[in-house]
Amino acid sequence: MSDPEIVVSAPGKVILFGEHAVVYGRKAIAASLDLRTQLKIHLIPDSTAVTLELPDISLSNTWQVADLAAAQPTGNVDVKNPSPPSDKYLAALHRLAGTDTDHTDTRTLALLAFLYMYTSIHHTTVRKCPAGRFHAASQLPPGAGLGSSAAYCTALAAGLLTMCNVISRPEGKTWSKEDLEVINAWAFQGEKLIHGNPSGIDNSVSTFGDAISFKSGKISPFESVAALKILLVNTKGPRSTKVLVQGVRDRYNRLPAIMEPILDSIEEISCTCERVLLELGGSPVDGQENTQGKNYQILEELVDICQCLLNALGVGHPSLDQVSSITAKHGLHSKLTGAGGGGCALVLLRPDTAPDVIDKVTAELRDCGYDVWETSIGATGVSQHSQPK
């Protein structure tokens, strides 16, 4: 803890293909989204207070380090293989957060994840609680299915583990594979506090970056993936993932023989995407421009077909149709990402998509009241931004 300041960032995620189908054991592809949550940790040795500032949700809490130390777990914590807090420990965290155990609002959950990781990680090492200021801000809209909570937990885990020298401060931007595994394990524990029973996709993508495939509970990161330019569109319509998932289940129960092959087709889209992304991510060699163009064409076709199949599952929405219609008019291809029924859509861009086309589409989508980001997927996972002083 010789360094007074650490700055880390962790990306969000998008589901590229396979949303909903994944519930029925089909393969899904998720990729990191280069909208990031940045965490600045500023240690203040002379102070006795710890402050957490989350301006995105208007949260600023300060605790005395003595109170935080008192809440630390009494037994040993395996820093490489963390486990969920005991009921007693969780109750202590709730007291620090100033909430009851039945509070599950965003601010309470953000406080709990911080308090849990802060107290546990320090307990495994220095067994005391250093004073300082923790400031996290995100480019990710919360509650939009873009993994904002996982990016928060991953950034917290990376910052705290590095601050305590559980993992080595990396020479470049990112950590060794082994250290990333430790970050991911802690981020997953944070996600569990927030979501109860998360799949682990979000924290894995936020930690390792690039893309992963996910099938029947098994997460398989890709070796090398191209960073794809996209527009991310948030239609901001109210939606409930639970209601949408149940709607697909109801349709499946009514018409299983019709729905099964649709899910099979979506799985094949995920498999084709995986192959194409690996090809696009390979080192380019002379004469491969045509292959690249062909692969982008296939990706565009996968986006179009998958969007139609998601509509067939019943998770479309007029706002998403509007996104499709606007982007198609300009020769671009888009699909919903995540639960659907409103929410977010991604618009695939080619490396050579003309800037004025991007500007026009962005302007038209904003005119509809939607938020639009020009960003990329397949970006670097959790990263360090400050060097040792």
**Where do contacts with a second copy occur on this chain (CB under 8 A)?**
251, 254-255, 257-262, 264-265, 268-269, 271-272, 298, 301-302, 304-305, 308-309, 311-312, 314, 316, 318, 321, 325, 328
Spatial separation of the C-alpha atoms in residues 147 and 382, rounded to whole Å: 13
* Nearest distance from C-beta of residue 309 to a second copy, angstroms: 6
- How big is the chain, counted in residues? 389
* Nearest distance from C-beta of residue 274 to a second copy, angstroms: 13
Looking at the chain, the number of H-run helices and the number of E-run strands are: 11, 12
| Cβ-based nearer residue to a second copy, 95 or 251 | 251
| Cβ-based nearer residue to a second copy, 243 or 328 | 328
- Kindly report the CA angle at 201 between 6 and 266, in degrees rounded to 5? 145
Tokens for 79? Answer: 């820093």
| Cβ-based nearer residue to a second copy, 98 or 369 | 369
Pairing of strands 132-138, 49-54: parallel
Category of 311 on φ-ψ map: left (φ > 0), alpha (ψ -120 to 50) or beta: alpha
CB count in 10 Å sphere of residue 148: 24
Q: Which distant-in-sequence residues (6+ apart) come within 8 Å of 181 by Cβ?
A: none
Spatial separation of the C-alpha atoms in residues 266 and 45, rounded to whole Å: 54
* Nearest distance from C-beta of residue 268 to a second copy, angstroms: 4
* Nearest distance from C-beta of residue 249 to a second copy, angstroms: 14
* Nearest distance from C-beta of residue 176 to a second copy, angstroms: 38
| Cβ-based nearer residue to a second copy, 123 or 350 | 350
Spatial separation of the C-alpha atoms in residues 384 and 60, rounded to whole Å: 24
The yes-or-no answer on residue 264 being catalytic is no
Spatial separation of the C-alpha atoms in residues 177 and 160, rounded to whole Å: 17
Q: Is 9 exposed, middle or buried (0-12, 13-18, 19+ CB in 10 A)?
A: buried
The yes-or-no answer on residue 202 being catalytic is yes
| Cβ-based nearer residue to a second copy, 164 or 271 | 271
Q: Where are the beta strands (DSSP E) in 21-86?
A: 28-43, 49-54, 59-64
Per annotation, catalytic residue among 34, 179, 202, 210: 202
| Cβ-based nearer residue to a second copy, 143 or 369 | 369
DSSP assignment string, 312-324? HHT---HHHHHHH
* Nearest distance from C-beta of residue 186 to a second copy, angstroms: 39
Per annotation, catalytic residue among 149, 319, 376, 383: 149
Residues annotated as part of the active site: 149, 202
